[in-house]
Structure 1
């Protein structure tokens, strides 16, 4: 019998006496729904409707009581303004790849004053692979103002490998990166590897931010929200022996069982990863308090130039 089952029965009883909807706070977003804090009890993977979009830890939601609680809707202000801003940002990013032409027409006569005849038309790809056209004309008329230079597009680098180490060697009993020790067999350390992908993506560009996304696997350690102890490492691929840790630890993200979230990497870390002096991310903890298994590890890089 789980905490969710116990609470479901009590909520069902309350529902029978007239309480049809209760409120609870989101602890973490999961692949299947959300983890909820209801009066101090942690409910895992509570299902949500498709209309509950933009889910985030800290949201207050209305929950239908029952043996299997279900989120009905989010409580709070209208998210329309936030959605509009997000859509506008996406549209602006897409439009940056386009070269605007204000009008397109044709006819059997010359177009009249102000038009220039093209002697030769040239084309090329710019540094970002975007097609460009250049018209060579016979006069010295000034060229139109070129479009403003925009920073390179955001890129996401997925790990090429991920694993765990224990007692100085790769752990045959761990299928995902792990931290801590649950059974007394020795503290685990896990890591994500990217080859040279991060530095290659950042070459010649100014990095404005790096974030890393993670999901905590259910069934490893306490269900409660616990921190990831993050480190840098210098490996392009998994070492055969001990995984040595570099800068850290940083507690940039805490997750409950099944929760997923994003950690914003410190400026010094993104500089090290961009330059290649660091190559990837790792986790390590001592003892059972913060024991967990973690998946994900994709790194999203935004550029300012």
Structure 2
């Protein structure tokens, strides 16, 4: 049943009963891949709770109002006005889009000389800036005044790289029984280690650029281990593709992210890790945990790279 239909029926039933709408507050544990949320409410944890359209920009840690009932629904977020946060995110999007603009107000031509106000260019130089955009410099015999200010050097545009492959290893060889990268051990048959592979795409994207940050986005797979939060035990690896033997682990572990079942999250990689990935000394991301407490499977692995102006 549609959430709005269910909410309408519950409101109508509550009104007829004279009880009104009963709501309670709850804390969002995680936002899932379905747009639902996992909640902590009254000392208990609820998973895959639906939300009305009024609850936007959902994130872990939010305090929300929940309509109680057989089918609980998150109604809205409690707290400060998110306008400032929205303004900042919109500004960032606008800056990114502005990188595609060319800093020339007009470009015309013809067979005759131009009218007044133009100066003849004796030599024209061109180069490509760090963002891959063209830059022109004109040398003139005389100039009518101060040169227009050159635009500030812009950072290269943000890049998102998807894995070319992924897999799981157990006891030194690929584990065909795991359909997604998995860590830990649920059955007592040995700890698993999983990985995402990118070929040389990460180093290629970073060549000649200064990396500001790298983040990786994951989703906790449903039906793998306990429903509550499980810590991702993250490592680097140096494989460009899936090995036929053991998956080697390099730097790690780093516990950068904890996800409950179905949840999505983003891990910000340490400076040393982004340096290793940008240089090519490391090629991808791996996970490796021990026992039932660390057991979980994950999908995703999309890696986003932001740069600084060179």
* Structure-2-length-normalised TM-score: 0.85
SS in 2 for 1:144: coil
Residue 186 in structure 1 maps to residue 190 in structure 2: yes
- Matching residue within 54, 64, 83 for 2:67: 64
Q: From the superposition, tell whether residues 68 and 96 of structure 1 become closer, same or farther in structure 2 (CA, over 3 Å).
A: same
Correspondence list, 1:226-241, <5 A: 226-241=230-245
Q: Which residue pairs with 1:5 in the alignment?
A: none
Between 168-177 and 19-28, report the one with greater CA deviation: 19-28
Residue 151 in structure 1 maps to residue 147 in structure 2: no
Correspondence list, 1:1-305, <5 A: 20-32=22-34, 33-101=36-104, 111-112=115-116, 114-117=117-120, 128-132=131-135, 139-140=142-143, 143-304=147-308, 305=310
Deviations 1:171-191 (A, max 9, x none): 010000000111111111100
Instruction: Give 1:23 shift.
Output: 1.2
SS in 2 for 1:47: strand
Q: From the superposition, tell whether residues 246 and 122 of structure 1 become closer, same or farther in structure 2 (CA, over 3 Å).
A: closer
Structure 2 unaligned spans of 5+: 1-9
Q: Contact 2:183–2:297 at 8 Å: present in 1 too?
A: yes
| CA RMSD, Structure 1 to Structure 2 (Å) | 2.7
Deviations 1:214-255 (A, max 9, x none): 100111101011100001111000000111111111110000
Q: Contact 2:103–2:151 at 8 Å: present in 1 too?
A: no
**Distance (Å, rounded) in 1 between the aligned partners of 2:174 and 2:213:** 31
**Distance (Å, rounded) in 1 between the aligned partners of 2:63 and 2:199:** 41
SS in 1 for 2:277: helix
Q: Contact 2:130–2:155 at 8 Å: present in 1 too?
A: no
The alignment of Structure 1 onto Structure 2 pairs a total of residues equal to 291
SS in 1 for 2:93: helix
Between 207-216 and 18-27, report the one with greater CA deviation: 18-27
**Distance (Å, rounded) in 1 between the aligned partners of 2:239 and 2:201:** 12
Structure 1 unaligned spans of 5+: 1-10
Q: Which residue pairs with 1:7 in the alignment?
A: none
**Distance (Å, rounded) in 2 between the aligned partners of 1:96 and 1:28:** 34
* Structure-1-length-normalised TM-score: 0.86
**Distance (Å, rounded) in 2 between the aligned partners of 1:221 and 1:131:** 52
**Distance (Å, rounded) in 1 between the aligned partners of 2:130 and 2:103:** 19
Instruction: Give 1:63 shift.
Output: 1.1
Instruction: Give 1:50 shift.
Output: 3.0
Between 84-93 and 259-268, report the one with greater CA deviation: 84-93
